[in-house]
Amino acid sequence: MQLPSALLEHAVSEFSKLPGIGKKTALRLALHLLKQDTDKVRAFGEAIVRMREEIHFCQRCFNISDTLLCSTCSNPMRKQDLICVVESIRDVIAIESTQQFSGTYHVLGGVISPLDGVGPDQLNIEPLLERARSGDINEIIFALNPNIQGDTTIYYIQKKLLPSPIRFTTIARGISFGGELEYADEMTLARSLQHRMPVEQLRV
């Protein structure tokens, strides 16, 4: 793509590094910013930089937060003895959009996948085990994507915690095997949470 300005070309190159953004879309975004007032563009840039520099990951559950503890973990109205284990922050957002879950979360940051070189040590599993062993947890809901990697991760965590008085459940398989949580509609996610089943019913 031949552009009349090296500065524009650099901006397009940076935009195109974003997921799902091709060169044509990147050019459209860059040209749109050129039409805006300088103050608006500066505010846009500062918002991105500030987000990257100042946003925290919750010390307890690893969700994104503006403070050391996220709004869910610090909310006395949430069921602190109930943990919903998810793969990513996007999954937290998806579940929260259902308005059907009143517990807390734990973001693993991925799932165990030996073929991809991802083992338990690369994930936020040990902090979850510490939370579970504190004696304050009654139930852990595994809301991981229904695939081999998700089921393997569930099996590993449960095995690490057994024997335990904690109830281990997983969301109902209204989400098809091999599907991804973030793309499920809100009704399917809500029903999967309501009709969760014992982990023992899974077969890895």
Chunked into runs of 10 residues, the chain (204 residues) has average pLDDT values of 86 95 95 96 96 93 94 95 96 92 96 94 97 94 90 94 92 62 69 71 59
Residue 20 to residues 29, 41, 92, 159: CA-CA distances in angstroms?
13, 22, 21, 38
- Distance (Å, whole) CA 16 – CA 38: 22
CA max distance for the chain: 67
Of residues 142, 147, 125, the one with CA closest to residue 200: 142
Give the model's pLDDT for residue 147. Answer: 84
Give the model's pLDDT for residue 180. Answer: 66
- Distance (Å, whole) CA 66 – CA 84: 21
Give the model's pLDDT for residue 135. Answer: 87
Neighbours of 103 (CB within 10 A): 19
Give the model's pLDDT for residue 203. Answer: 56
Give the model's pLDDT for residue 179. Answer: 58
- Distance (Å, whole) CA 75 – CA 92: 16
- Distance (Å, whole) CA 50 – CA 42: 12
- Distance (Å, whole) CA 185 – CA 135: 34
Residue 72 to residues 80, 104, 108, 188: CA-CA distances in angstroms?
9, 6, 16, 22
Of residues 70, 97, 87, the one with CA closest to residue 151: 87
- Distance (Å, whole) CA 13 – CA 15: 6
Long-range pairs of 3-7 with CB within 8 A, sequence gap ≥ 24: 3/27
H-helix or E-strand containing 139?
A: strand 139-142
Name the token pair of 34: 């050129």
Asked if 106 and 131 count as a contact pair (C-beta separation under 8 A), the reply is yes
Name the token pair of 173: 């398989």
Give the model's pLDDT for residue 198. Answer: 78
